Amino acid sequence: MQSENSVRKAEPSLLSLILRPHRSLSRFGFFIFMAAVLGMYMAVGGYFFAIGAWAVFGFMGSEVLLLYILFRLNYRDARAFETVDLTRSKLAVQKVDPRGRAEGFEFQPHWLRVDMDDPPEQHSQLTIGSHGKTLTLGSFLTPPERLEVAREIRGGLRKIRFEA
Evaluated on CA atoms 5, 8, 11, 12, the torsion sign reads positive
**pLDDT tens, position by position, 44-77:** 999 999 999 889 988 999 999 999 999 988 888 8
Asked if residue 74 lies in contact with residue 85, where contact means CB atoms within 8 angstroms, the answer is: no
Q: List all residues 6 or more positions away from 84 whose beta carbon is below 8 Å from its beta carbon.
A: 15, 16, 17, 19, 91, 92, 93, 137, 149, 153
Q: How far apart, in whole angstroms, are the C-alpha atoms of residue 85 and residue 107?
A: 11
**How does DSSP classify residue 156?**
H
The per-residue pLDDT for 76 is: 86
Asked if residue 69 lies in contact with residue 35, where contact means CB atoms within 8 angstroms, the answer is: no
> Full-prediction pTM beyond 0.75?
no
Average pLDDT over the chain reads 87
The per-residue pLDDT for 33 is: 94
The per-residue pLDDT for 161 is: 81
User: At 51, is the secondary structure helix, strand, or coil?
Assistant: coil
The per-residue pLDDT for 9 is: 60
The per-residue pLDDT for 164 is: 57
- For range 114-132, the mean pLDDT: 86
Q: How far apart, in whole angstroms, are the C-alpha atoms of residue 84 and residue 21?
A: 15
Report whether pLDDT(84) > 50. Answer: yes
pLDDT band, very low/low/confident/very high, at 2 (cuts 50, 70, 90): very low
- For range 111-137, the mean pLDDT: 88
pLDDT band, very low/low/confident/very high, at 3 (cuts 50, 70, 90): very low
- For range 96-114, the mean pLDDT: 91
